[in-house]
Copies of this chain bind each other. A is one copy, B any other.
Amino acid sequence: MRDSYHDQLDDILADLVHMCQKVAIAVRSSTSALLDADIHLAEQVIGDDTELDRMQADIEERAFTLLARQSPVAGELRTVVASLRMVTELERMGDLAAHVAKIARLRYPEVAVPELLRPNFVRMGDVAEKMVVTAGHTLSSRSIESAEDLRSRDEEMDDLRSSQFRVMLGDGWEYGVEAAVDVALLGRYYERIADHAASMGRRIIYVVTGEFPETEYWPQP
């Protein structure tokens, strides 16, 4: 019975890792759709989001069944509860990738991102995607170092966003209000994807060590 509980928990964790891979693809595809005004790719990200919703519902149900079945030992209980949290964050990251894709679709055939900020968004997309991949790796390896890597990447994301604001509010901005509104929201979506990935790192440290890392250095969930 114990083994079976343990196996089912392992299956949930494996599916969370699988979900990280799907979310990483969604983030990469939405960034490509955004930067290349690729309407087909944008539609694909938006459509595929229902698959992430389905995975979330499935994982939640299984975690709930595990909680109902028997009282797990403390470490397992922490893991089940953290899984319920992480699956919500992954589903949310999928939504945010779909939000990026929706702005790409809204501005098609134009590119929503002005040329001046293209390198910034290339980097933002890259950091966000790598953070989701790292969250998945952290989950499968339970590596504290890997979780800490998420923290420093999240700081890089914050810097990228600050630099967007400097560009938009500086004298050289000649792209008007619509582009600024798009950039403000797009930047927010990427920042939130990064926050969720960093928050997953924090939860994994909690699962592994039984304690949350110092909150002042970590973004809150």
Tell me, yes or no, whether A184 is within 8 Å of chain B by CB: yes
> Which of A59-104 touch B at CB < 8 Å?
64, 67-71, 74, 77-78, 81, 84-85, 88, 91-92, 95
Q: What bracket does the count of chain A residues touching chain B fall in?
A: 20 to 34
Binds B, one of A2-10, A11-19, A115-123, A174-182: A174-182
- Least CB distance, A87 to chain B, in whole angstroms: 11
Copies in the complex: 2
| Closest B residue by C-beta to A89 | B88
Tell me, yes or no, whether A142 is within 8 Å of chain B by CB: no
In the complex with contacts A169-B177, A184-B181, A77-B68 CB distance below 8 A? yes
Residues 161-194 of chain A, each 1 if its beta carbon lies under 8 Å from chain B, else 0: 0000100110001001110110011001000000
The reply to whether B67 and A77 contact each other, CB–CB distance below 8 Å, is: yes
Tell me which residues across on chain B come within 8 A of A85, comparing CB atoms: 84, 88
The reply to whether A67 and B88 contact each other, CB–CB distance below 8 Å, is: no
- Least CB distance, A7 to chain B, in whole angstroms: 19
Tell me which residues across on chain B come within 8 A of A181, comparing CB atoms: 165, 168-169, 180-181, 184
Tell me, yes or no, whether A43 is within 8 Å of chain B by CB: no
| Closest B residue by C-beta to A175 | B177
Q: List 5 A-B contacts (CB under 8 A).
A: A71-B71, A84-B84, A95-B220, A176-B177, A184-B185
> Given A91-B220, A95-B220, 15 other A-B contacts at CB below 8 A?
A64-B78, A68-B71, A70-B71, A84-B85, A88-B221, A168-B177, A169-B177, A173-B177, A176-B177, A177-B177, A180-B180, A181-B181, A185-B185, A185-B188, A188-B188
